[in-house]
Amino acid sequence: MIHYKSKAEIELMRESCMLVSKTLAHVAGMIKAGVTTLYLNDLADEFIRDHKALPSFKGYHGFPFACCISVNDAVVHGFPTQDELKDGDMVSVDVGVFLNGFHGDSAYTFAIGEVGPEIRKLLKVTKESLYMGIEKAVHGNRVGDIAYAIQDHTERKHGYGVVRDLVGHGLGRDLHEEPQVPNFGKRGTGAKLKEGMVIAIEPMINLGTKDIYHDKDGWTIRTADGKPAAHFEHDIAIRKGPADILSSFSAIEEAEKANPNLTYSY
Ligand code: MG
Ligand code: MG
């Protein structure tokens, strides 16, 4: 069942989503070679609690951390660890917060130090595909229109692998609500997009094969061929006309550009 949100509820959700964005910007300023992903997780956890919210992921189906932090061949759901990040790594940070009774959920992938053109392009194209999906997220369209736009740009145009096993989702009082929002599909198919729907659109795009496997930690999803994967996620509210993007990359991108230890992906 799809839970449609009132305008007042969407404003509450905007606060949850913006706190996620601020958390990601805070983390972005601290990413560098030599820090551990557990350290980044703890920074985010503390930041969220300092803002009188709770990290949505902690305890979700038993997930033990505030963030999913996925490095290189880890696509999503990565376990923060004591391993130090290195120059040339790419790291996806996925954060959820619960505030005012609603969840926000957004993710961003960073490149540490000097990364090759292949990785820069993967990051650029994945982020572009997210906005192309958002362009189709308007009242009267269908979920398949979003899905097609993302797949067309990443897989058909650039030859990347679109993960089939994981999808975007509705968002609200629950972290994962109906409908599912895949990153692959046919135009004109799937749930109809209607004013008041809030969805998380989150392309998970692999440099190589679309195939993935579950790491033995039970959570981390990795690419089958060991090549890197990128992940960007926004929360949006459907309305008549262009979607209302409730999360924001502005502060994250500013922090990314200001951090000399990161390569800006554009
Ligand atoms: Mg997420
Ligand atoms: Mg999500």
pLDDT at 141 over 80: yes
| Coil, strand or helix at 193 | coil
**How many whole angstroms from 106 Cα to the centroid of ligand 2?**
6
Q: How far, in Å, from the CA of 127 to the mean position of ligand 2?
A: 15
Span from the CA of 188 to the centroid of ligand 2 (angstroms): 23
d(CA 234, CA 201): 6
Q: How much distance in Å is there from the Cα of 105 to the middle of ligand 1?
A: 5
Contact in structure between 83 and 41 (CB atoms under 8 Å): no
From the CA of 109, the nearest ligand is 1
Domain 7-263 has CATH 3.90.230.10: yes
The structure tokens 């209302």 sit at 244
Ligand 2 centroid distance, CA of 197 (Å): 15
Query: Distance, CA 98 to ligand 1 centroid (Å)?
Result: 13
| pLDDT tens per residue across span 43-87 | 999 999 999 999 999 999 999 999 999 999 999 999 999 999 999
- The alpha carbon of 59 and the centre of ligand 1 are apart by a number of angstroms equal to 15
The torsion angles phi and psi of 14, rounded to 5 degrees, stand at: -60, -40
pLDDT of 266 over the 70 cut: no
Over residues 17-27, the mean pLDDT reads 98
Give me ligand 2 centre to Cα 199, in Å.
Answer: 9
CA 227 to ligand 2 centroid distance, Å: 22
Q: Region 239-256: what's the mean pLDDT?
A: 97
Average pLDDT of span 33-37: 98
Ligand 1 center from residue 217 Cα (angstroms): 19
Give 140 Cα–ligand 1 centroid separation in angstroms. 25
- 86 Cα–ligand 2 center, Å: 26
Query: What does the longest C-alpha to C-alpha distance in the chain come to?
Result: 48
Q: Summarize pLDDT for 198-230 with one digit per residue, the tens.
A: 999 999 999 999 999 999 999 999 999 999 999
pLDDT of 264:
84
- Cα(18) to ligand 2 centroid in Å equals 15
Three-state SS at 126: helix
**Cβ atoms of 180 and 173 closer than 8 Å:** no
Ligand 1 mean position to 241 CA, how many Å? Answer: 25
Mean pLDDT of 137-146: 98
Using the mean position of ligand 1's atoms as its centre, give its distance from the Cα of residue 39 in Å. 19
The 229-231 sheet, strands edge to edge: 161-162, 204-206, 229-231
pLDDT (0 to 100) of residue 110: 98
Residue 200 CA, ligand 2 centroid: distance in Å: 6
CA of 112 to the centre of ligand 1 (A): 21
Tell me if 206 sits within 8 A of 163, measured CB to CB.
yes
Cα(202) to centroid(ligand 1), Å: 7
pLDDT of residue 102: 98
Give 33 Cα–ligand 1 centroid separation in angstroms: 24
State the angle between helix axes of 37-50 and 7-28 in degrees (0 to 180), rounded to the nearest 10. 140
Cis peptide before 179 (omega within 30 of 0): yes
- Average pLDDT across the chain, whole number: 97
